[in-house]
Amino acid sequence: MRFSLPRSLGAILASAVFSITTAVPTCTAKPTEPAPNVKSAPASESASATESAPATEEQKESPEIAEIRKGAAEFEQAFNSGNAAAVASLWTPEGEFVNDEGERFIGRDAIAQAYQKILAERQGRKIKVQIDSIRLLSDSAAIEDGHAMLDPTPLGGASIGRYTVVHVKANGKWQMSSVRDSQVDATSVAGRLAELEWMIGSWVAEEHGSKVESVCSWIANKSFIQRTYTVTQPDNSINSGLQIIGYNPQGDHLQSWNFSSDGGYAVGVWTRNGNQWISEFRGVLPSGQNTQALNAITLLDDNAYSWQSMQRFVDGIWVADTDEVVVKRKAK
């Protein structure tokens, strides 16, 4: 199958830090091949305790992990029904609970009392458990990491917290042996974005007769980076776009939201490897076609970085990688 790609494809697939929109040759279907020396970011968020994507035969969870996930759903249900005793029953008899203030409770009775207080303070709020990972250590031990979210957000309080659970299996049943909660510090948002502070400023790049000018700036008390860009084509036509980069505390990663002047949009998940940032983008073209790409940004020095888009697909049809482009900071 062959077809010509729309000009706006570059603005969607290449919008990790800037967009080069060029004439793209026709493409043919090609199986996915891993990009060299590139670590891929996760394609999607982890499933919550009560919701998960349909699994293929190869992707189905083991019965042990499925039972642990079921226990997380039972915790969610017990919490939301205000039943502290039912919450505590999910621990082992001598289980341990350490709250986000470092207070330690041993045994089901103490844990039930702790949750009675928690439920009273959070009356009317529902909890949503998001499991990030479950690792089986043996046939009778496992570790679960995840996030818990309160809705509505407590006034003046944190709405998202992290947790780690040590599960043990006794008498054929998985129970929680140790649970440790921790807060997601709001100051960590700006801290995580600090690694991209070098982006702040004005940038320019030229490729195949196209010129891209972009401006990156802090917004919302340095909680996000805003990037606006303008692409001038060889025929002097212009398109533009907006990108917002922030920290996603649920997934514990940097994330970006991209909007093109032609109506296309994309969301990217970012990971860092030294002086390189890899972002996995999934988006939608104005035509309704699904897009995905893996973009690599490599910081060369204080005034230059390289950019390349790889593993690009439109509705599952492979698109050739872009050339590596050097982007330079504009002189003040």
Concatenating the DSSP letter of every residue in 92-147 gives EEEEEEE-TT--EEESHHHHHHHHHHHHHHTTT-EEEEEEEEEEEEETTEEEEEEE
Q: What is the predicted pLDDT for the residue at 47? A: 38
Measured between alpha carbons, how far is 104 from 110 in angstroms, rounded to an integer?
Answer: 9
User: Per-residue pLDDT for 272 more than 50?
Assistant: yes
Q: What is the predicted pLDDT for the residue at 15? A: 42
Among 7-11, 144-148, 167-171, the minimum mean pLDDT is found in 7-11
Confirm whether 159 is domain-assigned.
Answer: yes
- Who has greater pLDDT, 178 or 44? 178
Same domain, 86 and 197: no
CATH number at residue 136: 3.10.450.50
Same domain, 154 and 234: no
Residue listed under structure tokens 């349909």: 54
Q: What is the predicted pLDDT for the residue at 189? A: 62
Same domain, 163 and 275: no
Total count of domains within the chain: 2
Q: What is the predicted pLDDT for the residue at 186? A: 54
Among 149-163, 187-201, 256-270, the minimum mean pLDDT is found in 149-163
Confirm whether 86 is domain-assigned.
Answer: yes
Among 25-29, 54-58, 259-263, the minimum mean pLDDT is found in 25-29
Last residue of one domain, picked from the residues 184, 217, 245: 184
Q: What is the predicted pLDDT for the residue at 226? A: 95
Measured between alpha carbons, how far is 92 from 246 in angstroms, rounded to an integer?
Answer: 39
Same domain, 291 and 194: yes
Same domain, 165 and 67: yes
Same domain, 214 and 138: no
Confirm whether 54 is domain-assigned.
Answer: no
Same domain, 293 and 266: yes
Mean pLDDT computed over 8-37: 37
Confirm whether 166 is domain-assigned.
Answer: yes
Mean pLDDT computed over 200-211: 90
Q: What is the predicted pLDDT for the residue at 56? A: 39
Confirm whether 70 is domain-assigned.
Answer: yes
**DSSP code of 302?**
T
Measured between alpha carbons, how far is 326 from 18 in angstroms, rounded to an integer?
Answer: 11
Last residue of one domain, picked from the residues 150, 184, 218: 184
What is the residue range of 317's domain?
9-44+189-329
Q: What is the predicted pLDDT for the residue at 183? A: 76
Share of the chain above pLDDT 90, in %: 58
CA 49, 143, 182, 107 dihedral sign is: positive
pTM reported for the whole predicted model: 0.52
Same domain, 292 and 197: yes
Average pLDDT, rounded, for the chain: 80
Strands 91-98 and 173-183 turn out to be: parallel
Confirm whether 318 is domain-assigned.
Answer: yes
Q: How confident is the model at residue 43 (pLDDT cuts 50, 70, 90)?
A: very low
Same domain, 203 and 151: no
Among 1-10, 80-89, 288-297, the minimum mean pLDDT is found in 1-10
Same domain, 30 and 134: no
Confirm whether 53 is domain-assigned.
Answer: no
Last residue of one domain, picked from the residues 166, 184, 202: 184
Q: What is the predicted pLDDT for the residue at 35? A: 37
* 3-state secondary structure (DSSP) of residue 39: coil
Angle (CA) 64 159 79, round 5°: 50
- Who has greater pLDDT, 106 or 152? 106
- List strands edge to edge, sheet with 173-183: 104-106, 91-98, 173-183, 160-170, 141-151, 126-138
Same domain, 324 and 301: yes
Q: How confident is the model at residue 152 (pLDDT cuts 50, 70, 90)?
A: confident
Same domain, 224 and 325: yes
